[in-house]
Amino acid sequence: MNLIAAVDKNWAIGNKNQLLVRIPADQKFFRETTTGKVVVMGRKTLESFPNGLPLKNRTNIVLTRNPDYKVPGARIVHDMEELHRVLERYANEDIYVIGGETVYRALLDECDVAYITKIDFAYEADAYFPNLDERPEWKRTADSEEQTYFDLEYYFYRYERVN
């Protein structure tokens, strides 16, 4: 499985159930990378999307403890066991974990690749991605040239699990 996230310099990913910043090139990278694939997310992540609707042209799987939760166009699962049963139908390399913090932490050890957009700025935040630079089992294997969006500098990184 894969992880994909935009993080700030402190590995923050969100504040009050919203992205820290919207960078068009990052959103394009996310769209191009995940279109036609399976995206796994928590309920709050889904609800942070425009109109709370699933992402188009993807298989949306939403993890929630709420047994009555329903969303047209999304597959709802209620625990990790059910999630794993559903994910068995798909190729591992076609699955992307897209947030939020709880879902990233729950599935980190099952993922082999992480696509991280690292923004060189510290935002006020209440949700964080695990810091892969501090984890010996993860190595950065690719990085982009410095990118800019107005006065923000950012990079596209690829991390891989090493055994």
Task: Give per-residue pLDDT as tens, 25-80.
Answer: 999 999 999 999 999 999 999 999 989 999 999 999 999 999 999 999 999 999 99
Q: Which of 57, 52, 64 shows the shortest CA–CA distance to 33?
A: 57
CATH 3.40.190.290 fits 2-161, yes or no: no
Find out whether the peptide bond into 100 is cis, omega within 30 degrees of 0: yes
Read off the pLDDT band of 147 (50, 70, 90): very high
pLDDT of residue 84: 98
pLDDT given at position 94? 98
Residue 145's pLDDT is: 97
At which residue do the structure tokens 């068009």 appear? 24
- For residue 20, give every residue at least 6 positions away whose Cβ sits within 8 Å of its Cβ, in sequence order, or none: 6, 8, 12, 13, 14, 119, 123, 125
Tracing tokens 């059910």 back to the chain, one arrives at 82
DSSP 61-119: EEE-S-TT---TTEEEE-SHHHHHHHHTTS-GGGEEEEE-HHHHHHHGGG-SEEEEEEE
User: What is the predicted pLDDT for the residue at 118?
Assistant: 98
* pLDDT tens-digit series, residues 89-146: 999 999 999 999 999 999 999 999 999 999 999 999 999 999 999 999 999 999 999 9
Banded model confidence at residue 163, pLDDT cuts 50, 70, 90? confident
d(CA 143, CA 123): 22
Model pTM? 0.97
| pLDDT at position 114 | 98
